[in-house]
């Protein structure tokens, strides 16, 4: 099992009179300062609810990643520094939840450049079966995903363990599982292939014996950096 990366999540609402286009314009200013100041390798995307009930809890959420907690700290020092003051003060959203997490990234067979401007990401809440570990989940899901990858299906997955600031409902679960595809058609292929070629294989049975998940929801993602 590889070392985890670090992530932060901020659930936000657009300010009165502001649109998603305003946010994307703001993100260009954010990126310009990042280009000049970032030493952490921070990357980011924004997710807009697509299949989620209710749809009105928040307008979007921001997810940022670094390879280590030290680099997440560097990114935060940069964000709160004088160089970002004008960008901070002009952000067109108000965030209502924020937490950080560790992520274990499974092998992906597509690159960030392959992502569409509204790529699908799903999240579900998961609990390990008795006697099973997160490493078991990582290994068995990796083995299952090889079936799809060998068939040319492009997808990725992450095991996420929320940390500081996590909502109370997440404390009821052992981890969050996310899946990503480069576009929505590829997501559809992934689902169809799962039911025709993956479900009830030996690899899939091992996954089902390791953990179970619920409360799946989906978002359209846009890469920011």
DSSP 12: E
Q: Counting every residue, how long is the chain?
A: 225
pTM beyond 0.85: yes
Give 172-206 pLDDT, tens digit per residue.
999 999 999 999 999 999 999 999 999 999 999 99
Residues 6+ apart with CB under 8 A from 6: 65, 66, 67, 68, 69, 71, 72, 100, 101, 102, 103
Domain boundaries along the sequence of the chain: 5-223
pLDDT of amino acid 187 = 98
pLDDT of amino acid 88 = 97
Cβ atoms 220, 119 nearer than 8 A: yes
Domain 5-223 maps to which CATH number in 3.30.1180.20, 3.30.70.100, 3.10.20.30, 1.10.599.10? Answer: 3.30.70.100
Give 93-150 pLDDT, tens digit per residue.
999 999 999 999 999 999 999 999 999 999 999 999 999 999 999 999 999 999 999 9
**Bridge partner residues of 97 (DSSP):** 11
């Amino acid at each position: 099992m590889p070392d985890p990366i670090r992530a932060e999540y901020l659930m936000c609402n657009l300010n009165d009179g502001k649109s998603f286009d305003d946010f994307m314009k703001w993100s260009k200013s954010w990126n310009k300062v990042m280009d000049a100041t970032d030493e952490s390798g921070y990357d980011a995307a924004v997710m807009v609810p697509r299949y989620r009930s209710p749809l009105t809890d928040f307008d979007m959420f921001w997810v940022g990643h670094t390879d280590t907690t030290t680099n997440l700290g560097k990114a935060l020092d940069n964000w709160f520094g004088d160089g970002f003051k004008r960008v901070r003060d002009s952000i067109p959203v108000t965030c209502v939840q924020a937490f950080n997490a560790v992520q274990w990234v499974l092998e992906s067979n597509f690159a960030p450049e392959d992502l569409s401007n509204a790529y699908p990401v799903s999240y579900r809440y998961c609990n390990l079966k008795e006697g099973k570990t997160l490493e078991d989940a990582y290994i068995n899901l990796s083995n299952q995903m090889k079936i799809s990858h060998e068939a040319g299906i492009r997808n990725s997955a992450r095991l996420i363990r929320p940390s500081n600031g996590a909502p109370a409902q997440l404390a009821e679960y052992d981890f969050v599982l996310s899946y990503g595809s480069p576009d929505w058609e590829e997501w559809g292929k992934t689902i169809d292939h799962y039911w025709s070629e993956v479900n009830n294989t030996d690899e899939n049975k091992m996954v089902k014996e390791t953990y179970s998940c619920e409360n799946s929801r989906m978002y359209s993602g846009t890469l920011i950096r």
